[in-house]
Amino acid sequence: MSWLHNSKVQFKIYKGPAAGWGALLSVTHAWLTSEQPIKNIRALLRTNQQGGFDCPGCAWGDSPESGTVKFCENGAKAVNWEATSRKVDAAFFARHSVAQLREQSDYWLEYQGRLTEPMRYDAETDRYVPIDWDAAFALIAGHLQHLESPDQAEFYTSGRASNEAAFLYQLFVRAYGTNNFPDCSNMCHEASGAALNASLGTGKGTVTLEDFQHADAIFVLGQNPGTNHPRMLEPLRDAVQRGAEVVCFNPLKERGLERFQHPQKMSEMLTNRSKPMHTEFFRPALGGDMAVLRGMAKHLLAWERDAQRRGIAGGMDNEFINTQTDGLIAYLAVLDATPWTHIVEQSGLTYAQIEQAARLYSGASNVIFCWAMGITQHHHGVATIQEIVNLQLLGGNVGRLGAGLCPVRGHSNVQGDRTMGINERPTQQFLDRLAETFAFEPPRDSGHNTVEAIGAMLTGSARVFVALGGNFAQATPDSKVTHQALSSCDLTVQISTKLNRSHLMVGKEALILPCLGRTDIDLQATGAQCVTVEDSFSMVHASFGQLEPSSDQMRSEPWIIAGIAEATLGKKPVDWHAMRDDYRLIREAISQTLPGFESFEQRLADRGGFHLPNSASERNWQTSTGKAQFSANVLPVSLIHEKVLASGRVHDLVVQSLRSHDQYNTTIYSLNDRYRGVSGQREVLFVNQKDIDRLGFEAGQKVDLVSLWDDGVDRRVKRFTLLPYDIPQGQAAAYYPEINPLVPLDSYGVGSFTPVSKFIPIRLERSTNEQRPQWVFS
Ligand SMILES: Nc1nc2c(c(=O)[nH]1)N[C@H]1C(S)=C(S)[C@@H](COP(=O)(O)OP(=O)(O)OC[C@H]3O[C@@H](n4cnc5c(=O)[nH]c(N)nc54)[C@H](O)[C@@H]3O)O[C@H]1N2
Ligand SMILES: Nc1nc2c(c(=O)[nH]1)N[C@H]1C(S)=C(S)[C@@H](COP(=O)(O)OP(=O)(O)OC[C@H]3O[C@@H](n4cnc5c(=O)[nH]c(N)nc54)[C@H](O)[C@@H]3O)O[C@H]1N2
Ligand SMILES: [Mo]
């Protein structure tokens, strides 16, 4: 079967490479549908350039050389999506009640255009009505001032907020009195931060872009860069070209990890040739990576022991281990204690495949490990990342050129936001610096992360919810429960660029505060402002908006935060309006507070920005022992959670949620997913034909997905189309956020609180009112 279709869904195997002509066509389409193509082409040429703006897409970094085009297909989509001429204004809200808007899809909601004026929810008419900025700030201040405790308010952040906005926001929230900072990072790379902090004393990756040019082996785990970090394809392809190993671990043969056609290499484009993206591809079980890594380490250990017996050098870096690390003995003990049968069974790979992976590792002098959501969004995500670190420590692969750890971040400034203090569990050191610089006593207790914030809103212990960007209602798990949590608040405030479902899950009162995005010119009292961001490689650089905002009622994020702060706290602890008028004052405050930001303003002029020091990459270990730490975690006995077992039902499949090629998180650009060959629909379940047969269904049939948990709640999404796909048996995949209702709120990672979005045991049920599937196969 090469393709199948009915009136709604089409499926056709995609044979082209990643990027190349397919990407070019797609960019052109995005330009044309933005309704201001000429303006946007000009804007795109300023993407990631000196004096231009930072791409609002992913957090991959760029080399500082100028002149080359530095945006990718999905960056172009992100820019065009933000820079649309369509508007969601007062007239739009007068036409649609909130109840009516709730009936619309996420795709439709965001497609309506940019939010252009501040709006207040009027419960009587169930409509949003205009409000002026001062009245909006007074409403928020009134609510905040009347709470019994500042801990009754939740302050969410999504990862597009600039450093300036994030710093001002956390300063305001802490001066107000709480550390309740749920953020998108809680659902994203939290496990990376937790694991790396405990093991290496830094929460960030240890490599820079330059390291990719010197690596002999690059391991890419649980990541789909062809879609989510397209600018990463070039360094991977270059590595393959120069003979380095690129070793991928992914249950799905993602197109971007297979072949790549360089859109800026004329010879490749004209001859329609493409280059391979990997030298080895392993397809582990969902959640099986920790077992694979443990098996690799077990091989290294066996080879090392053998070498020592024979008096020759083995594959481990003993000098590094002896001088730089701690905890080896305990780790070797768990390696020895983990039986091969357990490893092989859990990994989904064979003993020989794991041995092959270990050989690739030990055969390389310099190794980089990259990973993303396929690793972090698991129950044992932290332990899996610590196993990556363990392996890298055995090989001495941290803190030298061409080697290291690279958690590939998501949102374009999610790493910067954490640096600025968006953290519900800030270090005491950071709080001390704040106290010293701004002469106030910040709250010292831990605040709420995303899962805890939802819990607090549900029980009524949190009453006010403020979001600096993002789409809390859709990005979070257990959608019904989250929607209920938001709706039970006294006040919900969304600072946003585009309409989404979070605006429709209103509290008793609700506000929409329309803000400028990265592409917009940000004009303040002292002139046009720039903001700064930090990429995955800890490079900080400036971003200048280029496009005229679509209304004079939109405001910058710092302007809005300063307005809320001034209305709530007056001029304490800083002159908010002065900072709003001149972002250099915010950067001055940052440079006084945060190590690494000395002479912030001056260093912004450097081409490509500046690099924040990373202690681990200098082999300075800020851990409790002062050494890099081996972690002796036990391999989970079973990946099926005890609460799933306690449901008394046996699962049919384990499903992971992932992104299509035409979405940015909850923002859906179209209903197509080019590389996976799907068009026209997102409610599909990718599943192996053998499983479809085993479970007694037919390809193309509509099914309900029901998740298993011990609390008796019916978590179900309806009428998903079964799509036969090249996926290991027993596994399935579906799109985020469509299947978020299936993730129970208390299914989260140990030590990370990250919702387990990549391992959801489900049963399939025949959808009711079902007609016979009308599929054509050929
Ligand atoms: N265009 C675009 N760019 C984006 C985003 C976007 O939505 N669109 N989102 C941004 C954000 S916030 C983030 S965090 C990143 C996300 O970037 P990714 O992590 O690449 O995103 P996902 O689509 O969640 O893909 C997860 C990948 O991991 C694989 N996987 C799932 N489970 C496992 C497992 O157990 N083991 C292994 N080895 N693999 C597994 C899946 O098959 C899939 O290929 O991208 C960022 N960039
Ligand atoms: N099941 C499942 N759930 C997941 C994931 C998964 O893989 N599976 N991934 C998780 C991950 S990795 C992440 S990062 C989260 C994402 O969670 P969020 O960051 O909360 O979600 P986004 O979809 O990125 O938010 C989109 C909205 O942000 C607003 N916006 C866009 N640009 C700007 C801006 O410049 N300023 C402001 N103020 N607003 C702006 C727009 O209104 C837009 O509608 O979702 C998580 N949820
Ligand atoms: Mo993310």
| Per-residue three-class SS string for 736-756 | CCCCHHHCCCCCECCCCCCEC
pLDDT at 211: 97
| pLDDT digit string, tens, across residues 244-256 | 999 999 999 998 8
- Taking the centre of ligand 3 as the mean of its atom positions, its distance from the CA of residue 481, in whole angstroms, is 21
Report the distance separating Cα 94 and Cα 540, nearest Å.
42
Please state, in angstroms and as integers, the Cα–Cα distance from residue 419 to each residue in 12, 173, 409, 533, following that order.
44, 16, 13, 10
Sheet holding 610-611, edge to edge: 531-534, 539-543, 610-611
Which residue's CA lies nearest to atom 38 of ligand 2? 469
Sheet holding 10-12, edge to edge: 678-679, 10-12, 3-5, 776-777
pLDDT at 266: 66
Q: Are 165 and 558 in contact (CB under 8 A)?
A: yes
Instruction: Indicate whether residue 250 lines ligand 1 (CB < 6 A).
Output: yes
Instruction: Pick the range with the lowest mean pLDDT from 43-47, 96-100, 426-430, 475-479.
Output: 43-47
Overall average pLDDT of the 251-275 stretch: 77
Which residue's CA lies nearest to atom 8 of ligand 1? 664
pLDDT at 96: 98
212: number of CA atoms within 13 Å, CB side?
A: 24
Q: Which atom of ligand 1 is nearest to the CA of 285?
A: 35
Helix (H) or strand (E) holding 371: strand 367-371
- The model's confidence at residue 771, banded by pLDDT at 50, 70 and 90, is low
Instruction: Indicate whether residue 224 lines ligand 2 (CB < 6 A).
Output: no
- Taking the centre of ligand 2 as the mean of its atom positions, its distance from the CA of residue 554, in whole angstroms, is 20
Q: Which residues contact 452 (CB under 8 A, 6 or more apart)?
A: 182, 424, 753
Number of Cβ within a 10 Å radius of residue 85? 12
| pLDDT digit string, tens, across residues 577-631 | 999 999 999 999 999 999 999 999 999 988 888 999 999 999 999 999 999 999 9
- Taking the centre of ligand 3 as the mean of its atom positions, its distance from the CA of residue 228, in whole angstroms, is 10
Number of Cβ within a 10 Å radius of residue 32? 11
- Average pLDDT score over the chain: 92
Q: Which atom of ligand 2 is nearest to the CA of 495?
A: 38
| pLDDT digit string, tens, across residues 349-399 | 999 999 999 999 999 999 999 999 999 999 999 999 999 999 999 999 999
pLDDT at 773 over 50: no
**pTM metric for this prediction:** 0.95
- Taking the centre of ligand 2 as the mean of its atom positions, its distance from the CA of residue 60, in whole angstroms, is 17
Which residue's CA lies nearest to atom 1 of ligand 1? 228
Report the distance separating Cα 45 and Cα 171, nearest Å.
35
Distance of CA 349 to the CA centre of its chain: 27
- Taking the centre of ligand 1 as the mean of its atom positions, its distance from the CA of residue 375, in whole angstroms, is 9
Domains of the chain plus CATH, in order, are 16-82 (no CATH), 87-188+413-519+554-598 (3.40.50.740), 190-408 (3.40.228.10), 642-777 (2.40.40.20)
Instruction: Indicate whether residue 469 lines ligand 2 (CB < 6 A).
Output: yes
Q: Which residues contact 213 (CB under 8 A, 6 or more apart)?
A: 235, 238, 402
- The model's confidence at residue 775, banded by pLDDT at 50, 70 and 90, is very low
pLDDT at 270: 67
Report the distance separating Cα 745 and Cα 743, nearest Å.
6
Overall average pLDDT of the 663-683 stretch: 94
Which residue's CA lies nearest to atom 22 of ligand 1? 658
What tokens appear for 278 in the block?
A: 């990997």
Ligand 1 pocket mutation pick from 72, 667, 758, 759 by most atoms within 8 angstroms of CB: 758
What tokens appear for 650 in the block?
A: 């046996």
pLDDT at 676 over 70: yes
Distance of CA 308 to the CA centre of its chain: 43
Instruction: Indicate whether residue 373 lines ligand 2 (CB < 6 A).
Output: yes
- Taking the centre of ligand 3 as the mean of its atom positions, its distance from the CA of residue 189, in whole angstroms, is 7
Which residue's CA lies nearest to atom 27 of ligand 1? 223
- Taking the centre of ligand 2 as the mean of its atom positions, its distance from the CA of residue 299, in whole angstroms, is 40
Instruction: Indicate whether residue 502 lines ligand 2 (CB < 6 A).
Output: no
| pLDDT digit string, tens, across residues 513-567 | 999 999 999 999 999 999 999 998 999 999 999 889 999 999 999 999 999 999 9
Beta pairing class for 684-687 and 663-664: unpaired
| pLDDT digit string, tens, across residues 92-123 | 999 999 999 999 999 999 999 999 999 999 99
Instruction: Indicate whether residue 249 lines ligand 1 (CB < 6 A).
Output: yes
Residue whose token pair is 């029901």:
706
pLDDT at 500 over 60: yes
- Taking the centre of ligand 1 as the mean of its atom positions, its distance from the CA of residue 372, in whole angstroms, is 6
Report the distance separating Cα 216 and Cα 399, nearest Å.
15
Percent of the chain with pLDDT over 90: 82
Beta bridge mates, 432: none
Specify the amino acid at residue 616: A
- Taking the centre of ligand 2 as the mean of its atom positions, its distance from the CA of residue 539, in whole angstroms, is 22
pLDDT at 65 over 70: no
pLDDT at 651 over 90: yes
Ligand 2 pocket mutation pick from 58, 116, 223, 471 by most atoms within 8 angstroms of CB: 471
- Omega before residue 573 within 30° of 0, cis: yes
Ligand number with the minimum distance to the CA of 160:
2
Report the distance separating Cα 325 and Cα 194, nearest Å.
18
pLDDT at 87: 96
